C-alpha cells in the first residue's frame, strides 16, 4: 500500500508498505480522506510536541475516514462496505482511567500519528471495530474526516457545560475554534464572540453565527468583550488558539463563577497565568485532552445539519502533494481553514 512517511524534518516521502493484517475484533479500512491537523504540521516542522518526539521514519495523520473492506471473525457491529469515520485513540481498556469512563486519559492509549504509533496517511488501516462509526449516506469522506476535530469541540463544550441562553467566547478561529463555536450555538448558546488575527477566519466565523468577530491585532479583545457584555463577561470562554496570551484573555472575560476551557496546545513550554482574575472571579478551569464518547454525537450534529463541517474543508490534495498541503497550512496561505489529503 501507499503511505506518506515523515523521513526527516520538513520532508515527507511516499513509500510502499505491506497492507496490515487484521485481528478477530478489527476491521480493515480503505482510507479515503485524512485532515491535516496543526499537530501534524508541528511534527513536520519541529519533530516534536512537548515530550513527544517523532523519530523518522514516522507516519502522521489522525483525522481519517474511509470504507470497510474486511472484517474480523468476531466483528458484528459493522459490515464490509460500510462508510466510516475512524476514532484515532485506542485505549488499553483496563486501567483506572479506562474503567472509569475517561479512556481519553489512558496512559497506554495508542493514538494514530502520535509517536511511536503510525498514523493514517496510508491506504489501508487496521482498526478495532468499536472505534469505527458508520456515517450517513449524504456525508462525504471529507465530512467524516472532520468528525475528529468536531469530537474535540463536542467534548470541550461538554466540559464547559454550555446551557441554553449562555454566552460564550472562543479564542482562535481555526477549525477547532470554529467547530467549538458552532457546537456551543447548537447547544443553545445565544451570544458567541470569537477572536483571531486572521480576518478571513473571522469572516468564516460570522457565517456560522458569531455575535462579534474580533481581531486582537486591531482591538483590545478583552475590553471589547467586556463592553459587549456590559462588564459581565461570558458564561464560558474557550481557548483554541494555542497562543501565549490567550489563556489570560479568556480568564479575564469569563464571568464571576464562569468557566474557562483550555483546548489549545501552546507552542511554549510555560505560560504565565495572572492569578488575580482567576482567584477574584472564581473561574473554573477545565483542561481538554482530546475527547471521549463524542463520535456518535458529532456524527449526529453533522447529519442533522446543526454543525457545518463541509465548508471548513477549504483545500484538497492528493497524497502525492501532501508536502504542498503542509506548507499551505504552515503559512496560512490562500485562506486555508482545513486541508484534506485524498488517498
Helix, strand or coil for residue 199?
Answer: helix
Strand partners, 64: 34, 86
pLDDT of res. 334: 96
Cell readout for 36 is 491535516
pLDDT digits (tens, 9 = 90+) for 289-328: 999 999 999 999 999 999 999 999 999 999 999 999 999 9
Answer for the pair 174, 201: CB distance below 8 angstroms, yes or no: yes
Query: Is 231 a residue whose pLDDT tops 80?
Result: yes
Answer for the pair 186, 74: CB distance below 8 angstroms, yes or no: no
Q: Specify the fold of 2-146+309-342.
A: Quinone Oxidoreductase; Chain A, domain 1 (3.90.180)
Cell readout for 90 is 485506542
Count other Cβ atoms within 10 Å, centred on residue 149. Answer: 25
CATH class of this structure's domain 153-287: alpha beta
pLDDT of res. 150: 98
pLDDT digits (tens, 9 = 90+) for 97-150: 999 999 999 999 999 999 999 999 999 999 999 999 999 989 999 999 999 999
Dist CA 225 CA 59 (whole Å): 42
Answer for the pair 26, 86: CB distance below 8 angstroms, yes or no: no
Dist CA 294 CA 274 (whole Å): 32
pTM score of the predicted model:
0.96
pLDDT of res. 188: 98
Dist CA 109 CA 93 (whole Å): 9
Average pLDDT over residues 285-292: 97
Answer for the pair 202, 196: CB distance below 8 angstroms, yes or no: yes
Query: Is 270 a residue whose pLDDT tops 90?
Result: no
pLDDT digits (tens, 9 = 90+) for 60-95: 999 999 999 999 999 999 999 999 999 999 999 999
Cell readout for 81 is 462496505
Confidence of residue 277 (pLDDT cuts 50, 70, 90): confident
First CA to last CA across the chain, in angstroms?
A: 10
Beta strand 52-53 pairing with 48-49: antiparallel
Instruction: Compute φ and ψ for 94, nearest 5 degrees.
Output: -120, -15
List Cα–Cα distances, 11 to 36, 138, 194, in angstroms. 15, 36, 34
Query: Is 268 a residue whose pLDDT tops 90?
Result: no
Dist CA 145 CA 147 (whole Å): 5
Using alpha carbons only, give the angle 7, 8, 10 rounded to the nearest 5 degrees: 110
Query: Is 267 a residue whose pLDDT tops 80?
Result: no
pLDDT digits (tens, 9 = 90+) for 175-220: 999 999 999 999 999 999 999 999 999 999 999 999 999 999 999 9
Count other Cβ atoms within 10 Å, centred on residue 141. Answer: 22
Using alpha carbons only, give the angle 231, 233, 237 rounded to the nearest 5 degrees: 160
Cell readout for 305 is 445539519
Answer for the pair 82, 70: CB distance below 8 angstroms, yes or no: no
pLDDT digits (tens, 9 = 90+) for 13-59: 999 999 999 999 999 999 999 999 999 999 999 999 888 999 999 99
Query: Is 339 a residue whose pLDDT tops 80?
Result: yes
Cell readout for 238 is 474557550
Q: Where do the structural domains in the chain lie, given as residue ranges?
A: 2-146+309-342, 153-287
Amino acid at each position: 500500500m501507499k503511505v506518506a512517511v515523515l523521513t526527516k524534518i520538513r520532508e515527507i516521502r511516499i513509500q510502499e508498505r505491506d497492507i496490515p493484517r487484521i485481528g478477530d475484533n478489527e476491521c480493515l479500512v480503505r482510507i479515503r480522506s485524512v485532515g491535516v491537523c496543526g499537530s501534524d504540521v508541528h511534527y513536520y516542522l519541529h519533530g516534536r510536541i512537548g515530550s513527544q518526539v517523532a523519530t523518522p521514519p514516522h507516519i502522521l495523520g489522525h483525522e481519517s475516514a474511509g470504507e470497510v473492506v474486511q472484517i474480523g471473525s468476531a466483528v458484528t457491529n459493522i459490515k464490509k462496505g460500510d462508510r466510516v469515520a475512524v476514532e484515532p485513540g485506542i485505549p488499553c481498556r483496563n486501567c483506572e482511567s479506562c474503567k472509569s469512563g475517561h479512556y481519553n486519559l489512558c496512559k497506554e492509549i495508542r493514538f494514530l500519528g502520535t509517536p511511536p504509533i503510525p498514523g493514517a496517511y496510508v491506504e489501508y488501516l487496521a482498526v478495532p471495530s468499536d472505534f469505527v462509526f458508520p456515517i450517513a449516506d449524504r456525508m462525504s469522506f471529507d465530512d467524516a474526516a472532520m468528525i475528529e476535530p468536531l469530537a474535540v469541540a463536542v467534548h470541550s463544550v461538554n466540559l464547559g457545560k454550555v446551557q441554553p441562553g449562555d454566552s460564550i467566547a472562543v479564542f482562535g478561529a481555526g477549525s477547532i475554534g470554529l467547530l467549538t463555536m458552532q457546537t456551543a450555538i447548537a447547544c443553545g448558546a445565544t451570544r458567541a464572540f470569537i477572536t483571531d488575527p486572521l480576518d478571513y477566519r473571522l469572516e468564516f466565523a460570522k457565517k456560522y453565527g458569531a455575535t462579534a468577530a474580533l481581531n486582537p491585532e486591531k482591538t483590545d479583545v478583552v475590553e471589547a468583550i467586556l463592553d459587549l457584555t456590559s462588564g459581565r463577561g461570558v458564561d464560558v470562554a474557550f481557548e483554541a488558539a494555542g497562543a501565549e496570551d490567550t489563556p489570560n484573555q479568556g480568564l479575564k472575560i469569563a464571568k464571576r463563577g464562569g468557566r474557562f476551557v483550555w483546548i489549545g496546545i501552546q507552542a511554549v513550554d510555560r505560560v504565565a497565568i495572572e492569578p488575580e482574575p482567576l482567584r477574584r472571579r472564581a473561574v473554573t478551569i477545565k483542561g481538554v485532552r482530546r475527547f471521549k464518547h463524542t463520535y456518535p454525537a458529532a456524527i449526529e450534529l453533522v447529519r442533522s445539519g446543526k454543525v457545518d463541517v463541509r465548508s471548513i474543508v477549504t483545500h484538497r490534495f492528493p497524497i502525492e502533494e501532501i508536502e504542498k498541503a503542509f506548507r499551505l497550512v504552515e503559512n496560512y496561505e490562500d485562506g486555508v481553514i482545513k486541508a484534506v489529503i485524498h488517498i
